Chains A and B, each alone.
Chain A
Amino acid sequence: MASITMNHIVKKYGDGFPAVNDVTIDVADGEFMILVGPSGCGKSTLLRMIVGLEDITSGDMLIGDKRVNDLAPRERNLAMVFQNYALYPHLSVYENIAFPLRLAGAKDSEVDQKVRAAAETLELTEHLQRRPANLSGGQRQRVAMGRAIVRDADAFLFDEPLSNLDAKLRGQMRTEISRLQKKLGITTVYVTHDQIEAMTLGDRVAVLKRGVLQQLATPRELYDNPANLFVAGFIGSPPMNFMPATVEGTTLKLPFGEVQIPADKAEKAADRGLLIAGIRPENFAEASAPHARGVSEANTFEAKIDVVEWLGNETYAYIPFEAPPEVQSQLETLEKELDGETMRTQLVITLDGASQVREGDKVRIWMDGTRIHLFDPETTENLTVDRAAAGRIPQLEASAGATST
């Protein structure tokens, strides 16, 4: 077991495009680190640089205290689970799991003991003599993991291991991976584009956009204190609502009305002109709902509900609004970066499952002004971020470094 340190890692391809640009991440011994981002953000490239399948253009890659930039994959002692499993179809499940041990020249008795132990852990014992072609998707996934855990590797690397499974199986395997990692206590780097996997599995999560690290923090920190519009929009489902806003004193002017925000937040955003306000769907409630009683009347507004989606435990209500062109264009860019489609600007709010709201109703909505984030429409950075509880934000470090020198 060992820590993994990435120091100013850069990967440039032949055309000079940096697929990974100056990424610094430290993975502590035994930590579960997630690399997350939309497709093309460089997360898989970064993982392949850790394992040695991709050359590093510049920067240092350290496993433990050893610089491994120039070592071949087999000399790095890492185990990897590939997105498409990459099982050896000509070998039985037993020989697939035994493959790394056989390469290392282990004795037959040792191989047998270790393979059976791994198969026991992954509940594969009854399938040991079968071929990968005769296994289900979930079983293949487990064989791929068996091949990883059978060796005493310094770290596990997962490259989107669950993306080929159906939704139900994905949930089960997610729990299984989490349990396995906690049991073995082994350093793990896990690449995914799925923010739910990122939130549920990771000790810490590194959010990447176009090869640049946006924020490196615990799931809770990412959720509560996103560094910028991109992180805020990426983490959470349904996503955070963004709307145009201006600050006057402690009053925030929104398309629906005015809300009071805490003084410290208002101060950070003072005299900035037009801003983008971000607030999560669950920070709204019906003013008449039980838990919102007694809240400040100032933070309520009247709105006409356009569409209602009832999920049983909760209800999503959609309220369209008009955004000024400068905010609109920024939101469109954001949607593109998140692999999404540009749609109408609308507010999504989560209401109680017991809510009787219907489409077309005019409802009084309460909003939690303390949970609002304010973003600069030019730089997209979060002006109201609590830096003590936001993990690492490389962009802020860079600007702080520039001003201090």
Chain B
Amino acid sequence: MARTTGKSILGTWIGFIVILVWCLLPVAWILSLSFKSQDETNSGSPQFLPKHWTVQNYRDIFSNHDFLYALRNSFGISIIATVLSVIFATLAAYAIARLDFKGKRLVLSLALAIAMFPVVSLISPLFDMWRTFHLFNTWPGLIIPYMTFTLPLAIWTLSAFFREIPWEMEQAAQVDGATPWQAFRKVIVPLAAPGVFTAAILTFFFAWNEFALAISLTSTTSARTVPAQMSFFVGSDPFNPPYGQLATASVVVTVPIVILVLLFQRKIVAGLTSGAVKG
């Protein structure tokens, strides 16, 4: 018995390491690239670790105003889209989970259909519409489509969480003297917190990483986000792209995501509702 257990533990670790290397090798490669000088990245056979460590790439990128504007746009657009999307999704999901109304199935199926719609096919109509509405190259011009594409998933995630919460919790709050809104805010939302954070992270990731809309619906740095801005990093020599700078920009935009996940991971505690009911 002990031997098989030992073997299965060994197997688990091997699988674990394989997956870790598979996922993290590109990240390590980008990190290493970001510390190499341009000469080194453009040489014929670059080795994995830099010969001469340099932070010149970081200095360059943080003195690049276009990149800083893009970073500002990315943060602003992603955060606003996330907050709005989560608020709307929470209200919609609560209604779907709790109320019985006609067309509930229709709403849910439509939401799913929207989530499956290919983003690219919407670009040209949106481009025309946004120019007419003067939304082209503005923050709302990106926030609105981002919300549209992330709301369905957020609604589905959150309504699953709401359905898990025993209805008695809310009724108890109402008997205790809460208005429906107070019961929702003080009891239901805290209990659905893991769902809210999950939805928030998913929305933020989508908005943060999105490229197709960002490149098509913007024309200047007043609304262009980092993924789109990075495609303008061409350098002086078209045959020698500034790999080091691209890698550095990638590292800089990956850091907030990593921090975000680490922060919210604590909030996403499974089984938060344990102890609410029964024994």
User: What 0/1 pattern do residues 164 to 208 of B give for CB contact below 8 A with A?
Assistant: 001011011111111100100001001101000000000000000
Residues of A within 8 A of B279 (CB): 136-137, 140, 164-165
Residues of B in contact with A (beta carbons under 8 Å apart): 166, 168-169, 171-179, 182, 187, 190-191, 193, 272-279
Residues of A within 8 A of B176 (CB): 74, 79, 99-100, 103, 147, 151
The docked-state distance in angstroms from the alpha carbon of A88 to that of B275 is: 8
User: Chain A, interface size: which category?
Assistant: 20 to 34
Residues of B within 8 A of A107 (CB): none
**B267 → chain A, closest Cβ, in Å?**
12
Sample of 6 more A-B contacts, CB < 8 Å, known A84-B168, A103-B177, A151-B177: A73-B171, A74-B177, A74-B179, A88-B276, A89-B273, A89-B274
Q: 28 A-B contacts, Cβ less than 8 Å apart?
A: A53-B171, A53-B174, A53-B175, A73-B171, A73-B175, A74-B174, A74-B176, A74-B177, A78-B175, A84-B277, A85-B277, A85-B278, A86-B169, A86-B277, A87-B275, A87-B276, A88-B169, A88-B173, A88-B187, A89-B273, A90-B193, A90-B272, A103-B182, A132-B275, A134-B275, A140-B275, A147-B176, A151-B177
**A104 → chain B, closest Cβ, in Å?**
6
A390 adjacent to chain B (CB < 8 Å): no
Q: Is the CB of B275 within 8 A of A72?
A: no
The docked-state distance in angstroms from the alpha carbon of A65 to that of B176 is: 22
Residues of A within 8 A of B182 (CB): 103
Given contacts A74-B174, A99-B176, A103-B182, contact A133 B275 (CB under 8 A): yes
Q: A residues 85-124 with Cβ under 8 Å of B? A: 85-90, 99-100, 103-104
The docked-state distance in angstroms from the alpha carbon of A23 to that of B71 is: 68
Q: Is the CB of B166 within 8 A of A84?
A: yes
Partner among A78, A84, A90, A99 whose Cβ is within 8 Å of the Cβ of B278: A84
A298 adjacent to chain B (CB < 8 Å): no
Q: Is the CB of B272 within 8 A of A73?
A: no
Q: Which of A86, A135, A151 has the most CB of B within 10 A?
A: A86
Q: Is the CB of B166 within 8 A of A86?
A: yes
The docked-state distance in angstroms from the alpha carbon of A391 to that of B276 is: 40
Task: Identify the closest chain B residue to A51 (Cβ).
Answer: B175
Given contacts A53-B174, A78-B175, contact A86 B275 (CB under 8 A): no
